[in-house]
C-alpha cells in the first residue's frame, strides 16, 4: 500500500518578518515542509492553500510530485500568477521533502546527484554613500565571500532600494502601510559607475561584483548603464528594466556586454521564454518558492541550459530558510548553476527554521540530511504572530508612481 497524505496545515508566523509555511503529514508519520511566503501578500497564499488546495491533497500518494503538480496547475483552470504559483510551490517542496525522507536521501540525489562541491553565493553590501558601501564590500570579502552585490545611496534621494539601516539583515518590507520612496533615474545613472570604479580600485579584480537596478530603468537607460559598467566587469546587472516586455531586453543586449540577470518576480518559465530563447539574458533569477516548486524549476533550468543561460536563484530574506535549503539542492545538482543569492536570516528566523545548510568560505552546502534538510518549530513560531507589512512603493520626484 502506497503512503498517503493524511493532513496538511498552514502556519503564518513573524519571527522578525512574515513567513507562510506548509506542513504536509503522511499516514506513515513522515512530514514535509514547504515555504509559501509572498512578501506583502502572505495571507492570500495562506487562504489559497488552506481553503482551496489542502482539501484536494488528502489521501493522495506524496511520491506523485509530477501528477500532483499538474493537478494543481492545470486543474485550477486559472493558470499562473504569484499567489497560485507560490501555493503550488509550497506543496511541491513539501512533497519532495517527504520523498527524500522516505528514501532517506538528500533531494539533490534525486536530481542527478552533486555536480559540484558547494554552491557559490553572493552577499549584500550596502551603504548610504560610496565610501560606506566600499567598506561593507571589504567586510564581506574579509568574511570569505567570493561574490558581493553592491548598492549605495544616491545623492539627492532620501532613500533608495537596497540601502538599509541594519547592515547585516537587509529587510525591505516594513510594518504598517507601504512606505514611500522617491526616485530619479538621472541621479542614479550618474552615481552607479562611480561606485564600481571605486570598488575595483579598492577590492581588486578577483571579487565578483553584482548590482541590482530593481526594475527602475527604461531599456535605453539600462543599455547606457551596462555600457558604463563594462570596465568594471560585473558578474551581472540585475532587473535592469521591467521584464513584462521581454523584447525590451533586445535593446539592452544590442549595446552592452555586461551580463544580465532577470526573473525574481517571474512565476513561470513562460515569463522568460523570449528572454531565454533569444539569449537576451545570462542568468535566470526564478527560484523554487515563486517559480512553482522544484518540479517546474528544474525544467526551466534545463531550458535555460540549452541557451547558455545559467541560474542565479533569488535568495532574499523574504524567502524562508525552507526555500533557501531547497534551492541549494537544485543548485548543487543542475549542470548550469551560476550563483545563489544569500541574504542572512536573523537568529530569530533561523531558530524557527532549524536547517542543515552551512556556509563556509563563500559557499553554501545543503548538508546531508534527508529531504531538503529544513525543519519548522511550530511551538516557537506560535510565539511570533503575523503582523501586517508591505514593501515600499516608489515615486519619481514629481510624484509619478514608478517601479519600486
Ligand atoms: C531583491 C529583493 O534580492 C533581491 O535581488 O530584489 O530584495 C526584493 O526586493 C525582495 O525580495 C522583495 O520582496
Ligand atoms: Mg533583485
DSSP letters for 140-160: HHHTT-SEEEEEE--TT-S--
Number of C-beta neighbours around residue 347 at 10 A: 10
**Ligand 1 pocket test: which of 38, 174, 212 has the largest number of ligand atoms within 8 Å of its C-beta?**
212
Q: For residue 332, how far is its CA from the centre of ligand 1 (angstroms)?
A: 22
Element containing residue 90 per DSSP (H, E): helix 82-103
Kindly report the protein residue whose alpha carbon is nearest to atom 6 of ligand 1.
Answer: 214
| Mean confidence (pLDDT) of the chain | 97
**pLDDT at position 259, please?**
99
| Residue located nearest, by CA, to atom 8 of ligand 1 | 316
Say what the pLDDT of residue 163 is.
85
Grid coordinates representing 77? Answer: 483552470
Residue 168 has pLDDT above 90, yes or no: no
**Residues constituting the chain:** 404
Is the distance from CB of 80 to CB of 301 less than 8 angstroms?
no
How high is the pLDDT of residue 42?
A: 98
Binding site membership of 375 for ligand 1 (Cβ less than 6 Å)? no
Q: Is the CB of 39 under 6 A from ligand 1?
A: yes
Report the relative pairing of strands 119-127 and 337-341 from DSSP bridges.
parallel
Q: Which three cell numbers stand for residue 3?
A: 503512503
Confidence of residue 159 (pLDDT cuts 50, 70, 90): confident
Give the residue numbers annotated as catalytic, written as ranges. 161, 214
The pLDDT tens digits for 70-98 are: 999 999 999 999 999 999 999 999 999 99
Q: Which residues of 159-180 are buried (b: 16+ CB within 10 A; e: fewer)?
A: bbbbbbeeeebbbbbeeeeebe
Alpha carbons 369 and 247: distance in angstroms, whole number:
43
What is the DSSP code (8-state) at residue 51?
I
Residue 161, pLDDT > 90, answer no
Is the CB of 18 within 6 Å of ligand 1? no
Structural domains of the chain in order of their starting residue, each with its CATH number: 5-106 (3.30.390.10), 110-369 (3.20.20.120)
Element containing residue 55 per DSSP (H, E):
helix 54-57
Ligand 1 atom closest to the CA of 238, numbered from 1? 5
DSSP 8-state assignment for residue 337: E
Distance 136 CA to ligand 2 centre (A): 19
**Hey, what's the cell of 391?**
514593501
What is the rounded distance in angstroms from the CA atom of residue 383 to the CA atom of residue 185? 43
CB of 316 within 6 A of ligand 1: the answer is yes
Cell of 279: 539569449
120: cell is 557559490
Interval 12-33 mean pLDDT: 98
Distances (CA, A) of 263 to 41, 115, 123, 239: 19, 24, 18, 8
Predicted confidence at residue 172, as pLDDT, reads: 83
Distance CA 213, CA 236 (A): 11
327 and 344 in contact (C-beta within 8 Å)?
no
Q: Per-residue DSSP letters for 109-135?
A: GGTT--SSSSEEEEEEEEESSHHHHHH
Axis-axis angle for helices 82-103, 321-333 (nearest 10): 70
Sheet holding 180-183, edge to edge: 180-183, 393-396, 401-402
Span 217-235, pLDDT tens digits = 999 999 999 999 999 999 9
Decide if 317 contacts 294 (C-beta within 8 A).
no
pLDDT (0 to 100) of residue 108: 99
Q: What tens digit of pLDDT does each residue of 311-348 get?
A: 999 999 999 999 999 999 999 999 999 999 999 999 99
Amino acid at each position: 500500500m502506497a503512503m498517503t497524505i493524511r493532513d496538511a496545515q498552514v502556519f503564518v508566523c513573524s519571527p522578525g518578518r512574515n513567513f507562510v509555511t506548509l506542513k504536509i503529514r503522511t499516514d506513515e508519520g513522515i512530514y514535509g515542509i514547504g515555504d509559501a511566503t509572498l512578501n506583502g501578500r502572505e495571507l492570500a497564499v495562506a487562504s489559497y492553500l488552506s481553503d482551496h488546495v489542502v482539501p484536494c491533497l488528502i489521501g493522495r500518494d506524496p511520491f506523485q510530485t509530477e501528477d500532483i503538480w499538474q493537478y494543481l496547475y492545470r486543474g485550477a483552470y486559472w493558470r499562473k500568477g504569484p499567489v497560485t504559483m507560490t501555493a503550488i510551490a509550497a506543496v511541491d517542496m513539501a512533497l519532495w521533502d517527504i520523498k527524500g525522507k522516505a528514501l532517506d536521501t538528500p533531494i539533490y540525489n534525486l536530481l542527478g546527484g552533486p555536480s559540484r562541491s558547494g554552491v557559490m553565493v553572493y552577499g549584500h553590501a550596502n551603504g548610504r554613500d560610496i565610501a560606506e558601501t566600499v567598506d561593507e564590500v571589504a567586510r564581506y570579502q574579509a568574511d570569505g565571500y567570493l561574490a558581493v552585490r553592491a548598492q549605495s545611496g544616491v545623492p539627492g534621494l532620501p532613500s533608495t532600494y537596497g540601502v538599509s539601516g541594519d547592515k547585516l539583515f537587509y529587510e525591505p518590507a516594513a510594518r504598517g502601510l507601504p512606505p514611500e520612496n522617491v526616485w530619479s533615474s538621472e541621479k542614479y545613472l550618474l552615481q552607479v559607475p562611480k561606485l564600481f570604479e571605486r570598488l575595483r580600485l579598492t577590492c581588486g579584480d578577483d571579487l565578483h561584483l553584482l548590482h541590482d537596478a530593481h526594475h527602475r530603468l527604461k531599456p535605453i537607460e539600462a543599455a547606457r548603464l551596462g555600457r558604463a559598467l563594462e570596465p568594471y566587469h560585473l558578474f551581472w546587472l540585475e532587473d535592469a528594466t521591467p521584464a513584462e516586455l521581454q523584447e525590451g531586453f533586445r535593446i539592452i543586449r544590442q549595446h552592452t556586454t555586461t551580463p544580465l540577470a532577470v526573473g525574481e518576480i517571474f512565476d513561470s518559465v513562460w515569463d522568460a521564454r523570449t528572454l531565454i530563447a533569444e539569449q537576451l539574458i545570462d542568468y535566470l533569477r526564478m527560484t523554487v518558492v515563486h517559480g512553482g516548486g522544484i518540479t517546474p524549476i528544474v525544467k526551466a533550468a534545463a531550458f535555460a541550459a540549452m541557451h547558455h543561460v545559467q541560474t542565479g536563484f533569488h535568495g532574499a530574506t523574504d524567502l524562508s530558510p525552507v526555500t533557501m535549503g531547497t534551492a541549494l539542492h537544485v543548485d548543487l545538482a543542475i549542470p548550469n548553476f551560476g550563483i545563489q543569492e544569500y541574504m542572512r536570516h536573523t537568529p530569530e528566523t533561523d531558530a524557527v527554521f532549524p536547517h542543515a545548510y552551512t556556509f563556509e568560505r563563500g559557499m553554501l552546502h545543503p548538508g546531508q540530511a534527508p529531504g531538503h534538510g529544513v525543519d519548522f518549530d511550530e511551538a516557537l513560531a506560535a510565539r511570533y504572530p503575523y503582523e501586517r507589512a508591505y514593501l515600499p512603493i516608489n515615486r519619481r520626484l514629481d510624484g509619478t508612481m514608478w517601479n519600486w
